[in-house]
Amino acid sequence: MLQVSYIRENKEEVLERLSVKNFNHPQLVNEIISLDDERKSTQSQADELLAKGNAAAKQIGELMRNGKKEEAEAIKAETTKSKEEVKNLQEQLATIEQNLQQKLVQLPNLPHASVPKGKTPEENEVVLIYGELPQLPEKPLPHWELAAKYNIIDFELGVKITGAGFPVYKGKGAKMQRALINFFLTEAEKAGYDEMMVPLLVNEASGFGTGQLPDKEGQMYHVGIDNLYLIPTAEVPVTNLYRDVILKEEELPIKNCGYTPCFRREAGSYGAHVRGLNRLHQFDKVEIVQVVHPDKSYEVLEQMSLHVQSLLQKLGLQYRVLRLCGGDMGFTSALTYDMEVYSAAQERWLEVSSVSNFETFQSNRLKLRFKGKEGKTQLPHTLNGSALALPRILAAILENFQTSDGIKVPECLIPFTGFDFIG
């Protein structure tokens, strides 16, 4: 959530930067500033009346001590009226603040100066392409056919148990999932991340804190009777560990990672681009999260990007890095890098990770602060990234490591799988 003070002092810059995200609603910014003016005026009136009331209370006490009861009663009658006015002003203030909050949460985060303009994924900027195309057998199979051929993933069983988008991993397929999770967590630990095992259900306050609510209700599974949400990513519970917390500057950076299943309702279209593991309602993911000093967040973003890239390199997958354009960025992000692996069998790029800097957008919502060495309280920057999301990684491994006899297991995974071939 943007800070009102920043919006007031930098109105034209805010409007210009929001336009990069194709968010062109100057009237909303004007309404926020107008409501803040009204809030300040109402607060000033209430404070003035309260000060007068406090002064009158002292005066009444003094008059009573001096035996001037009649004068004291007259002033007391005036203060009763004044208290009623203060009550009315405080009720008005509460309404104004509620309206202001409702307007503020409609504004997305401001994009970083390096974010390219654009409206569609085709306008994202390719930062890097790494690796070479694998040598595949003639007429390579897509992963959903390989999964059926080697009996490692059953999509129909998932439909029977739950519905589309909930696959069942079997035998070596299940072991590959577990191996990838363990590999990613082990690498995160080597990079200095502390592992957290967190709840898979969160409350509204947690959803609001990281920006999923009120923006993405339609993409989340809601447990109505308890008013809880199944997490779309471990980012939500892990980042909310620090909601309503004041950290010490020397505690920064905080580096956490966590493995969780993730749940998203957004899947639902049809075609080859969403077949098999390409888009699911439930999938596994290892997430990395950092809370850092504002001066270091973009340096940290590059480090997180390199960490994700190192995983892809160790897996032996060709990949590319994209800097997302304004129109393809998330609501809460200031700058996002997407990592995509190339599926030689499907002949297209598959997104497997997003690494984002949210600057103070989440910490302001979370009321997460840190106290500097001089005692000043500031908002830290928060960052997160998928390291990594499993479905498309597994899809790319099955497709890019296929041979005429079966599927090779990437060397880095063999210590975790206990086997080097699926056939």
Q: Which residues are annotated as a binding site for ATP?
A: 264-266, 351-354
C-alpha to C-alpha distance for 101 and 112, rounded to whole angstroms: 24
Binding residues for L-serine, as ranges, are: 233, 264, 287, 384
Count Cα neighbours of 237 within 13 Å in the Cβ-side half-sphere: 24
Beta bridge partners of 223: 228
| 370, 252 contact by CB (below 8 A) | yes
User: HEC states along 297-314?
Assistant: HHHHHHHHHHHHHHHHHH
- Residue whose pair of structure tokens reads 């947690």 in the numeric block: 206
C-alpha to C-alpha distance for 177 and 170, rounded to whole angstroms: 10
- The CA-atom distances, in angstroms, between 107 and each of 26, 39, 336 are 11, 19, 18
Q: Residue 371, Cα to own-chain centre: how many angstroms?
A: 24
Phi, psi of 269 (to 5 degrees): -85, 175
- DSSP-derived letter for residue 370 is E
- The two beta strands, 254-263 and 194-195, are parallel
Binding residues, as ranges, are: 233, 264-266, 287, 351-354, 384
- DSSP-derived letter for residue 295 is G
C-alpha to C-alpha distance for 39 and 415, rounded to whole angstroms: 61
C-alpha to C-alpha distance for 259 and 287, rounded to whole angstroms: 6
Structure tokens at 57: 């209370």
Structure tokens at 95: 């309404």
Span between the terminal Cα atoms of the chain, in Å: 51
